[in-house]
């Protein structure tokens, strides 16, 4: 095989390996979607199904066969009207999210009013994503300015409702509606990108 043929073969293998969907390896609950390697911030999405934020309740899930990725567990709320800049709807529910690795290590342990969670949304869209960031601090840089640094990690890089999945581990997720009166439809959703 000459150098040109070797280069073509290596390039083909790299391109094809990027095209293999991680969804083929997922064996956990919900519907796993791999949006492809060209999609960065939400390459991976797992729809774990509906959650009723109007009444107390507990929802349990198993996530296994995950890619090596940074993932975020959140609540996807379907708004009554289209999102607008600087208009935040009320989210009258308190939710606790707990995740453990198969070894029993705590990966995520967060609780709070959804009104205090980070809200990600698109203007003129009717979906809001709610999640929690962990603690952090600003580190001064030598030439001026600062750089953010995450602190207080748990197992598997757990930080807020973020975690770094490992391909050889199973994770057990428990979402509890502690109290609520939010009547809009909502779903438990996980999304993320390659590490």
> What pLDDT, on a 0 to 100 scale, did the predictor assign at position 182?
92
Question: For residue range 72-91, what is the model confidence (pLDDT) as tens digits?
Answer: 999 999 998 888 888 899 99
* Residue ranges of domains in the chain, CATH in brackets: 22-194 (2.60.120)
- The CA angle 80-86-90, to the nearest 5 degrees, is 45
Alpha helices in 20-167 (DSSP H): none
pLDDT band at 6 (very low <50, low <70, confident <90, very high): very low
Give the predicted TM-score (pTM) of the model: 0.83
Element (H, E) at 96: strand 93-101
């Amino acid at each position: 095989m000459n150098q040109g043929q070797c280069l073509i073969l290596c390039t083909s293998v790299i391109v094809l390996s990027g095209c293999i969907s991680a969804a083929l390896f997922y064996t956990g609950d919900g519907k796993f979607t791999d949006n492809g390697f060209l999609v960065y911030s939400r390459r991976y999405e797992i729809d774990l199904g509906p959650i009723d934020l109007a009444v107390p309740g507990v929802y349990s899930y198993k996530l296994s066969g995950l890619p090596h990725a940074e993932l975020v567990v959140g609540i996807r709320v379907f708004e009554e009207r289209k999102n607008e800049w600087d208009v935040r709807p009320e989210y009258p529910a308190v939710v606790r999210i707990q995740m453990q690795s198969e070894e029993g290590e705590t990966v995520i342990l967060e609780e709070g009013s959804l009104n205090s969670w980070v809200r990600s949304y698109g203007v003129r869209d009717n979906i809001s994503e709610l999640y929690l960031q962990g603690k952090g601090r600003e580190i001064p840089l030598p030439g001026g300015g600062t750089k953010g640094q995450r602190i207080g990690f748990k197992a598997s890089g757990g930080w807020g409702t973020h975690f770094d999945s490992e391909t050889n581990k199973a994770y057990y997720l428990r979402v509890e509606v502690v109290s609520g009166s939010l009547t809009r439809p909502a779903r438990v959703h996980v999304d993320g990108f390659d590490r």
